Chains A and B, each alone.
Chain A
């Protein structure tokens, strides 16, 4: 069965430090991969997506993610975080349009 694992439920970092949020997926078929961000008291917003092609995907707000098929990972990175990046981040995978599986989320907290 398809699944998405976010290894860290919380990640605290200092402002302007780099951050990596980890995501691993399991699937026997090719998948599409996504990262969503949820700011406090808001809905989810698409941050970036991997559908095919280049394994390095750039998204909004300076985030990027790298698709690694051999390690079945899709880790999210940002070289320098800001207070405004405080949010919960969800990794998701989909074999097609109908089924989308979300990870349990990683809460990113930024310390000044």
Chain B
């Protein structure tokens, strides 16, 4: 089944404790992206990747890192999480400009 998977689905952590949210797609898509969803703000792009070893900042990259060492994986790293990073995070992939395939989301709470 074609899908985008994210892990973990739910995470509670404390300020400053490094964490990684994994994202994997099995559709051989070149494009992958991370979004955060906050009430009243819709989805805002954090980082995106056009291909392996090619990443770029989105609208809200501060406090986040990404890497794209393999085509299928695009992990999101929070080196030192803060409470303002409490949010719902979505990973997505796309074969081109024809629409995104979203993962199920990761709900993060930073205390």
Interface residues of A (CB under 8 A from B): 6, 9, 32, 34, 36, 42-46, 49, 51, 90, 94, 96-100, 102-105
Contacts and interface: CB of A to CB of B under 8 A. Distances in A.
Contacts, number: 55
Given A32-B98, A43-B90, A104-B40, 16 more contacts: A6-B42, A9-B40, A43-B4, A43-B103, A44-B100, A46-B99, A49-B99, A51-B97, A51-B98, A90-B42, A97-B96, A98-B50, A100-B45, A100-B100, A102-B35, A102-B42
Interface of B: 4, 31, 33, 35, 40-45, 48, 50, 56, 90, 92, 94, 96-105
Nearest to B105: A43
A32 B102 contact: no
Contacts of B103: 43
